[in-house]
Chains A and B, each alone.
Chain A
Amino acid sequence: MTDPAAVENAVYNFVLDQIETVPHLEALLLLWNSRPQPWTVENLAKRLYVSTNIVNSLLEDLKRRGLIVYVPGSPDGFRYEPTSIGQDQLLSALDLTYRRETVRISTMIHSKPSSSVRDFARAFRFKKERE
């Protein structure tokens, strides 16, 4: 997938489909950039300037989407775990794009209707989605 327009589209589609909030994105990119090092919930909360409750909930969401895995230990943490090479490339492109177009990506995320509403609509699709 070397065509830059296609890559850009893939990044935008990923953001629209899989990223619920900006902290979600920043957490994912933090984990991706420090892979395979795990992060603890506390450190993520400090780094992202959000509460640990929010971090817990967004990590659960990312885990459910198969983007990160839970790493038990003392203390427990989470780290990025790719499911495919394509996903690695996508994350790399996402990282670059977010650095270049932070405002645009954030606006894209903020103008999505609430994820509850989107989930409601998605629930009525019979076939398994590509998530």
Chain B
Amino acid sequence: MFGAIVYIIGALTSAACAVLLMRGYVRGRKRLLFWSGLCFTILSLSNMLIFVDLVLFPDIDLYRYRLGSASVAMLLLLYGLIWESE
């Protein structure tokens, strides 16, 4: 139960960061914001995937996909940080 709350807060926080960063990207066109916005979007989805895992597909274990999506998110962020932060 407590874990569920943490995942929800995680999903909401990531979503908020994603929205703010994407809004900032639209305004200033700085690609760093695009890649970090994309990272947080995927992280938010990754957080929500635990509920899909436990509720919608209780027989299948989506752990690997949760980890996979979080990995993709972090790699995108790294790409943005390395190439676009001048």
Chain B residues 1 to 51 lying within 8 A of chain A, measured CB to CB, are 17, 20-21, 23-25, 27-33, 36
Q: How large is the interface on B (under 10, 10 to 19, 20 to 34, 35 or more residues)?
A: 10 to 19
Q: Is A117 in contact with B20, judged by CB distance below 8 angstroms? A: no
Supposing A116-B31, A117-B32 touch, asked if A123 and B85 sit within 8 A by C-beta, the answer is: no
Q: Is A117 in contact with B33, judged by CB distance below 8 angstroms? A: no
A104 to B43, alpha carbons, bound, how many Å?
Answer: 43
CB-defined interface of B50-86 with A at 8 Å, one 1/0 digit per residue? Answer: 0000000000000000000000000000000000111
A114 to B, closest residue via Cβ: B86
Q: Give, as a whole number of angstroms, the nearest-CB distance from A13 to chain B.
A: 18
- Our pick among A64, A116, A123, A124 for the contact of B84 (Cβ within 8 Å) is A116
Chain A residues within CB distance 8 Å of chain B? 60, 64, 114-117, 119-120, 122-124
6 additional contacts (CB under 8 A) given A64-B27, A119-B32, A123-B25? A114-B86, A115-B30, A116-B86, A120-B21, A120-B33, A124-B17
